[in-house]
Amino acid sequence: MKILVDADACPKPVREILFRAAERVGVETLFIANQLTQVPPSRFIRALQVEKGFDVADNEIVRRSEINDLVITSDIPLAAEAIEKGALALTPRGALYTKDNVKAKLNMRDFMDTMRASGIQSGGPAAFSAQDKQLFANELDRYLARHA
């Protein structure tokens, strides 16, 4: 079991939670991004910078994901691909994607993309909040308790 992080869009508070969890539980945690990602010195935490390009980091995360791994991402198509390989996916806001719910989330994402493309303004996501941070930490702890 390992944790793979879509680090390009991972909020700093979530990174800090992941750093502490990796050390506390001793779980391999890999931050994958198109840009340099700073991680603390640790035998459990690593950063991998991939070349720039559309979906290069996402493809690397999928390539490395295995059964029971946890992928941290807000990217629903990435989550769906990781789940197909037997992993789970958790958003930085604490929503867990599983085989049971990822298809519906993907359909809603595609619908919203179509709406935006037709000119309908839907606004962006709300600012990352303390409640989001707490929801993420709680869901991560549940995952680690079941799989560590």
pLDDT tens, residue by residue, 64-89? 999 999 999 999 899 999 999 999 99
State the average pLDDT over residues 128-132.
94
Give residue 126's pLDDT. 79
Give residue 112's pLDDT. 56
21: Cβ contacts below 8 Å, ≥ 6 apart = 3, 27, 29, 140, 141, 144
Higher-pLDDT residue of 81 and 125 is: 81
CA distances from 87 to 28, 41, 64, 99, 127 (A): 15, 26, 10, 9, 27
Please write the tens of the pLDDT for every residue from 28-48: 999 999 999 999 999 999 999
Note the CATH number of domain 2-147. Answer: 3.40.50
28 has which bridge partners? Answer: 2
Q: What pTM was estimated for this model as a whole?
A: 0.87
